[in-house]
């Protein structure tokens, strides 16, 4: 396990009293300015470490199928500053920007809405941007989501997750649209309230990665896709006929009945969607509907 420190060698320090040569070429000037700036930047990074309440070491999973020396998975340690509010994502960005630019992870919004930075942090699926360093016990270990193929470092293959999401017809379907110009298809407040939580999914795949059943059964729809189907099945605007269709999708062989109510999806979901409850509700609804035929 290696400790990463600044990559560049100590630069030669330019002294103040060295008069700027009139004949300095543009290239020389650029190089000199670059050294100055690097020195300043490094000093700043060090000061930041000094100033911060504390600094901590994060242990980050590393793997690259292409680069020699990185094909064997390993953990790298990075020392990062920790202030009030520093998130795991901030720490990773600091490490990437200051120590090792090859450190790879997905991220974008920094505000828990794009769903791209779900990692396995100290043994649990969490969004990097929403997780404060100060909440975590040291040593802090950051790994890619389990049960998914690793592309590189913390980046995992998402195709399977997307396929499962797409398999439940994740789009509104109704035969009941009003015809008048600018006429809205009304929805009761209660009904919107009912589907509200289910509409918050950000496709982060944390739930899928936490689910033992999904890990063992490739075809299992998984909590996110079921929740997506629930979102439409319970939306009164789609109508009864469509609901039957939705229920058939949910009840398929690798659908809701595979769920063993382990609650891990509900525990990890960063949007606090009551996934297990939604799955159970679908099961109850299914039983109710099937009873009708008996």
Partner 1 sequence: MYEHDVLVVGAGGAGLRAAIAAHEEGADVAMVTKLHPVRSHTGAAEGGINAALRDGDDWELHAYDTMKGSDYLGDAPAIETLATDSPEEVVQLEHWGMPFSREEDGRMSQRPFGGLSFPRTTYAGAETGHHLLHTLYEQVVKRGITVYDEWYVSRLAVTDHDRPEDRVCHGLVAIDIKSGEIEGFRARNGVVLATGGPGQVYDHTTNAVSCTGDGPAMAYRAGAPMEDMEFIQFHPTTLPSTGVLISEGVRGEGGVLYNALGERFMFERGYANNDGELASRDVVSRAELTEVNEGRGVNDEYVHLDMRHLGAERIVDRLENILHLAADFEGVDGLEEPMPVKPGQHYAMGGTETDEHGETCISGLYAVGECACASVHGANRLGGNALPELIVFGRRAGQHAAGRDLGEAKIGTGQVGEYEVGEVDTPVTPGEIGTPEDVVADGGESARTDGAGALVEAGPVLENAVETERERVAHLMGRDEGVQQAEIREMLQKSMTRNVNVFRNEEGLKQALRDIRTARELYRDVYVDDPSRTFNTDLIQTIEMRNLIDTAEAITLGALAREEFRGAHWRQEFQERDDENWLKHTLLSWNDGTPEVWYRPVHLEGREKTYEPKIRSY
Binding site for ligand SF4 (CB under 6 A): 201-207, 223-224, 227, 268-271, 273, 275
Question: Given the complex with ligand SF4, which of 4 and 199 has the nearer CB atom?
Answer: 199
110 binds ligand FES (CB under 6 A): yes
**Among 1, 13, 177, 291, which residue sits at the site for partner 1 (rule: CB under 8 A)?**
177
Question: Given the complex with ligand SF4, which of 59 and 231 has the nearer CB atom?
Answer: 231
Beta bridge partners of 77: 3, 59
Binding partner selected for residue 233 from ligand SF4, ligand FES, partner 1, none, CB under the kind-specific 5 to 8 Å limit: none
CA pair distance 265, 210, nearest whole angstrom: 6
Six-digit token pair at 177?
């649209």
Six-digit token pair at 22?
């009139």
User: What's the closest the beta carbon of residue 189 comes to partner 1, in angstroms?
Assistant: 5
**Among 107, 141, 254, 283, which residue sits at the site for ligand FES (rule: CB under 6 A)?**
107
User: What's the closest the beta carbon of residue 201 comes to ligand SF4, in angstroms?
Assistant: 3
114 binds partner 1 (CB under 8 A): yes
| Helices then strands, each counted (H, E), the chain | 10, 8
CA atoms within 13 A on the CB side of 76: 20
Q: Is 101 left (phi over 0), alpha (psi -120 to 50) or beta?
A: alpha
Among positive and negative, which fits the CA dihedral 155, 97, 62, 78?
A: negative
117 binds ligand FES (CB under 6 A): yes
185 binds partner 1 (CB under 8 A): yes
């Amino acid at each position: 396990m290696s400790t990463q420190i600044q990559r560049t060698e100590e630069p030669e320090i330019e002294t103040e009293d060295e008069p700027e040569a009139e004949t300095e070429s543009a290239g020389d000037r650029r190089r000199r300015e670059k050294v100055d700036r690097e020195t300043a930047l490094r000093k700043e990074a060090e000061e930041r470490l000094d100033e911060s309440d504390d600094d901590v070491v994060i242990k980050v999973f590393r793997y690259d199928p292409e680069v020699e020396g990185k094909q064997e998975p390993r953990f790298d340690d990075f020392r990062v500053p920790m202030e009030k509010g520093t998130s795991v994502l901030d720490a990773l960005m600091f490490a990437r920007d200051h120590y090792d630019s090859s450190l790879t992870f997905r991220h974008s919004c920094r505000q828990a809405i794009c769903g791209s930075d779900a990692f396995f942090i100290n043994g649990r699926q969490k969004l990097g941007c929403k997780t404060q360093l100060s909440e975590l016990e040291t040593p802090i270990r950051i790994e890619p989501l389990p049960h998914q193929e690793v592309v590189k470092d913390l980046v995992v293959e998402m195709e399977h997750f997307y396929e499962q999401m797409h398999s439940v017809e994740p789009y509104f379907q109704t035969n009941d649209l009003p015809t008048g110009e600018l006429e809205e298809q009304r929805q009761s407040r209660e009904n919107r309230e009912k589907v509200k939580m289910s509409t918050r999914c950000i496709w982060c795949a944390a739930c899928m990665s936490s689910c033992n059943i999904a890990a063992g059964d490739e075809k299992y729809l998984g909590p996110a896709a079921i929740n997506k189907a629930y979102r439409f099945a319970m939306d009164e605007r789609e109508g009864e006929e469509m609901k039957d269709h939705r229920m058939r999708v949910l009840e398929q062989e690798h659908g809701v009945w595979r769920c063993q109510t382990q609650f891990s999806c509900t525990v990890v979901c960063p949007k606090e969607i009551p996934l297990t409850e939604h799955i159970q509700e679908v099961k109850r609804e299914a039983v109710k509907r099937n009873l009708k035929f008996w």
